[in-house]
Amino acid sequence: MDEEYLTQLIGGPGSLRGAARPTPETVEALLGMGLGVGDISAAQTEGAPPQPAPASVPYGFNGMFSGAIGSNTESICLRYPEQVSVRDRVKERLSEEDARWDPEQYVMSSVYDKATVDAALSYTPFFRQRQEGASLSEDMAAAVGVLSQQWPEGIEISDPKAVLCTLVDVLYAFCRCVRVTQGAVLSTSTRDTDTVWDMVQASPCLSHLDASTHSVKRCLAACVRRCCIVSQVPSVSLGMACISDVQGVLSRGRVCILHCLLEMHGMLADPACDPPLSIHNTLWTAPLIAWVAQSGEDVLASLAQHTKKVKLTQAQASEGLDLASLDVYIQQMLAEMQ
């Protein structure tokens, strides 16, 4: 994890250490930009005509937020993110995916990005390496404490199934991004912020505030399918491999989960990202980190066991895309190129 970012988070200018508990509306600025409440209010209203505030539908981790997005809508693929219902979030996501699905582009990417996919599949990320007796670094542990200060009395979960699906979705997006970049995204010195943007856009939770409550299986299928459509490197084989990554992270327990979420937090807070992506720390990674840190080992073990039981076929994960037929063309093109 980037040491400069950790230092800023736990003790530098604009850090949260020792601060009063911030409201959800100000967390994004506090974590990502170091702005004060007055700055946020001015930034959100500057140049905008006065309008009555419409009712906001809860969103984010555990449905804990409303009115928190403000003007930070560029990385959220919803027309009216504050007002759209849970059901309509799913409809908008599926409609966008149907509109963007391009079989020809998928075939061409599968052929010409094959080396990238092969390298990603053979790469061993930190969360798949043996971690017996692993613990967080002192700075990472301090960062967890800082982020957890926002919820000193803990987070009361209203929908356990939705929370598990949220954690699975977010971890899936992170694991896939790390694989595709072979770890380069983890450091500011080697990070291409376009890959962080791609990570956000390929996640149902982050892109459409869609924390599916159906089942972990359907959540993972939605993640794989969306990545085949909107990712810069679409690949169902890579998508299926990342399911195993998520299962591995959860099975390794609290330390590994927190390590991944902290890394993702740093990636989303990168000031070089355009548009800014730190709103997703407000809505997802920060409360996830606090909840995982505060949860009992038995809870996390139960989540891991539940996710490990999921069996998902490639056909189920790519419903409606007919990738089996496209694979015939892909193999023909690869054979002709040899």
- What's the pLDDT tens digit per position in 258-314? 999 999 999 999 999 999 999 999 999 999 999 999 998 898 999 999 999 999 999
Q: How many Å apart are CA 313 and CA 220, to the nearest integer? A: 11
Greater pLDDT, 167 or 29: 167
Question: Does position 49 have pLDDT exceeding 60, yes or no?
Answer: no
Give, in degrees to the nearest 5, the angle at Cα 140 between 37 and 260.
95
pTM for this structure?
Answer: 0.85
* Residues of the domain holding 254: 3-337
Asked if 166 and 205 count as a contact pair (C-beta separation under 8 A), the reply is yes
Mean pLDDT over 42-63 rounds to: 59
pLDDT at 100: 96
The shares of helix, strand and coil residues in the chain, as percent rounded to the nearest 5, are: 60, 0, 35
Q: Identify any residues that bridge with 59 across adjacent strands, giving them in sequence order.
A: 65
**Mean pLDDT for all residues in the chain:** 85
Look at the chain and report how many structural domains it folds into.
Answer: 1
Cα separation, 175 vs 160, in Å, equals 22
Cβ pair 67, 27 in contact under 8 A: no
DSSP one-letter code for 284: I
Name the residue with tokens 């099975």: 251
**What pLDDT does 160 receive?**
87
Q: Residue 133: pLDDT above 70?
A: no
In the chain, the percentage of residues whose pLDDT exceeds 90 is: 68
* CA of residue 86 relative to chain centroid, distance: 18
